[in-house]
Amino acid sequence: MIHTESLRVGIDTLRANPMRTILSTLGIIMGVGSMVSVLSMGDGVEKFARDQVAETTDLQAIAISPSTSQRVDGIFVRRDNIVRFTPADLDSLKAAVPEAGAVEVIVSGGLMVQIDSASPCRGVLVHAGASTDPVDSQMVARKMSIRDGRFFSDAEAGAGRKVVVLRASTADSIGGGAALVGQTLFLQREAFTVVGVLAPREGERMEAFIPFSAASGVLFGAPQMQLTAKRVEDVAAAKQRAERFFARRYGMDWRARVTVVANSTRVEQLTQALLVFKILMGAITGVSLLVGGVGIMNVLLAAVVERTREIGIRKATGAKNRDILVQFLAESVTITSAGAAIGVLLGIGVAQAAAAIMRAQTQAPVHAALSLSTILVAAVASVMVGLTFGLYPAVRASRLSPIDAIRHE
């Protein structure tokens, strides 16, 4: 008998015993459902954790600073050849570091600010920066939102327009608040046009933001660069590539001219925690599938005993060992495939419900993150379980002696 006939017989047998088939499938439904729900929730919680790390910490940031002094006879003296980073360095560094999400050049400094010569001077920390990302992307990355007016545009930044965006506390302290938008403000006696005021946030300082191209004449510190890795796991590789980039550019003594710093210890701790979390999720889903697989094996072993005479008759009429093997494996894979399809739908529903409960109880923006890889893992795992746990009953059935099987009661 050819294998296609064995497959047909196996599927027909499942249809003829719906209750047994349902009970066999139930274990896989629960196993695959548990796997999909756990993996989806795990992916969602992991994404939430990664977003929180990116938003509230600098663990993915690599600070690159020029050395402004050198040690001579035990005394630190100012260097004559200080490295001056410019926006032109951004694209070349990002091209050398594929793990980089964004690269910025920043110069900051404290300046005196006033509305006019008659008004009192206030101190403000001014930041001027340029990035490989558009201005709107920088705002999102820094979690900035506008209260009044707007942020300066890429065109204004490229043209070196003297425009400024103020923190809410800065605008309120200077006086005028929202009325400052469109007005002229003097930073260290240089006239800047106020184009926007940021939304207030707790604990903010007196700060202002201007384009990097407008910093000359008001900020005289050494610009620094900041490279942000795409993922926490990429920080170490990104730091190594950045170091090789500067070694090629400045030669053997590059460490004396440029400092590349990352929070390596904290990054390693977080990477380890994420790995432990993934292993835990995998262990939980593995146990669920194991339980379902054992259930399939038990049901198929019982089916072998129940259908011993049938197997004997088939072998006596010409069926070979491999035909019986294919028949029982077909039953096992059919059970697991059907259970996997239902289990995926069940798992998606459970994950969505669990995420909704978590959002309601914690106010945290946690969402189930169902991905194609999760569905593929569920499909492949279910087939592997069917083949693995269906193999022993199938082999046992294929090895039955036709004479002994026919005489079995």
At 209, the pLDDT band (50, 70, 90 cuts) reads: very high
pLDDT digit string (tens) for 27-51? 777 777 877 888 788 888 878 887 7
- Tell me which of 23-37, 122-136, 393-407 is least confident: 393-407
Kindly report the backbone phi and psi dihedral angles of residue 229, in degrees, each rounded to the nearest multiple of 5, phi listed first.
-70, 150
Task: Report the pLDDT value the prediction gives residue 244, as an integer from 0 to 100.
Answer: 93
As a whole number of angstroms, the distance between CA 229 and CA 263 comes to 12
Last residue of a domain, one of 234, 262, 290: 262
C-alpha angle 142/66/127, rounded to 5°?
30
What the block records as the tokens of 61 is 């940031």
Is the pLDDT at 124 greater than 80, yes or no?
Answer: yes
Same domain, 211 and 333: no
Task: Report the pLDDT value the prediction gives residue 354, as an integer from 0 to 100.
Answer: 85
Same domain, 74 and 155: yes
Is the pLDDT at 227 greater than 80, yes or no?
Answer: yes
Task: Report the pLDDT value the prediction gives residue 404, as an integer from 0 to 100.
Answer: 57
Last residue of a domain, one of 211, 233, 262: 262
Given a contact cutoff of 8 angstroms between Cβ atoms, the answer to whether 299 and 24 are in contact is yes
Task: Report the pLDDT value the prediction gives residue 24, as an integer from 0 to 100.
Answer: 67
Same domain, 126 and 49: no
Is the pLDDT at 338 greater than 90, yes or no?
Answer: no
Residue 86: CA count within 13 A, CB half-sphere: 6
Same domain, 74 and 187: yes
- Beta strands at 122-131 and 207-211: parallel, antiparallel or unpaired: parallel
Task: Report the pLDDT value the prediction gives residue 177, as an integer from 0 to 100.
Answer: 64
Task: Report the pLDDT value the prediction gives residue 40, as an integer from 0 to 100.
Answer: 83
Is the pLDDT at 26 greater than 90, yes or no?
Answer: no
Task: Report the pLDDT value the prediction gives residue 34, as an integer from 0 to 100.
Answer: 78
Domain of residue 236 covers 61-262
What is the widest separation between alpha-carbon atoms in the chain? 113
As a whole number of angstroms, the distance between CA 196 and CA 200 comes to 12
Task: Report the pLDDT value the prediction gives residue 284, as an integer from 0 to 100.
Answer: 76
Given a contact cutoff of 8 angstroms between Cβ atoms, the answer to whether 102 and 141 are in contact is yes
Q: What is the pTM of this model?
A: 0.68
Task: Report the pLDDT value the prediction gives residue 219, as an integer from 0 to 100.
Answer: 86
Same domain, 106 and 34: no
Same domain, 108 and 33: no
Task: Report the pLDDT value the prediction gives residue 406, as an integer from 0 to 100.
Answer: 58
CA distances from 281 to 276, 284, 351 (A): 9, 5, 14
Same domain, 298 and 203: no
As a whole number of angstroms, the distance between CA 400 and CA 328 comes to 13
Is the pLDDT at 199 greater than 50, yes or no?
Answer: yes
Task: Report the pLDDT value the prediction gives residue 300, as an integer from 0 to 100.
Answer: 63
CA distances from 103 to 42, 52, 62, 71, 212 (A): 30, 20, 9, 30, 14
Last residue of a domain, one of 262, 294, 321: 262
Same domain, 194 and 84: yes
Look at the chain and report how many structural domains it folds into.
Answer: 2
CA distances from 65 to 60, 91, 255, 293, 357 (A): 16, 17, 11, 57, 46
Same domain, 208 and 185: yes
At 170, the pLDDT band (50, 70, 90 cuts) reads: confident
Closest alpha carbon to 293 in 218, 175, 387: 387
Is the pLDDT at 1 greater than 50, yes or no?
Answer: no
Task: Give the chain's mean pLDDT.
Answer: 79
Token pair 């499938």 in the structure block, residue: 25
CA distances from 407 to 308, 321, 401 (A): 9, 18, 10
pLDDT digit string (tens) for 245-278? 999 988 888 888 888 998 888 888 888 887 888 7
DSSP readout, 155-176? HHHHHT--EEEE-HHHHHHHS-
At 126, the pLDDT band (50, 70, 90 cuts) reads: very high
- Tell me which of 63-72, 192-201, 326-335 is least confident: 326-335
For residue 66, give the H/E element and its range. Answer: strand 61-66
Is the pLDDT at 390 greater than 70, yes or no?
Answer: no
Task: Report the pLDDT value the prediction gives residue 87, as an integer from 0 to 100.
Answer: 86
Residue 394: CA count within 13 A, CB half-sphere: 23
Same domain, 162 and 247: yes
Closest alpha carbon to 206 in 171, 243, 178: 171
Gyration radius of the chain over CA positions: 33
Crossing angle for the helix pair 372-398 and 264-306, to the nearest 10 degrees: 30
As a whole number of angstroms, the distance between CA 154 and CA 267 comes to 33
Looking at residue 187, what DSSP letter applies? Answer: E
pLDDT digit string (tens) for 77-102? 777 778 888 888 888 999 999 988 88
What the block records as the tokens of 98 is 């594929």
Same domain, 137 and 238: yes
Same domain, 46 and 86: no
At 242, the pLDDT band (50, 70, 90 cuts) reads: very high
**Segment 64-75 mean pLDDT:** 79
Under DSSP, is residue 261 helix (H, G, I), strand (E, B) or coil?
A: strand
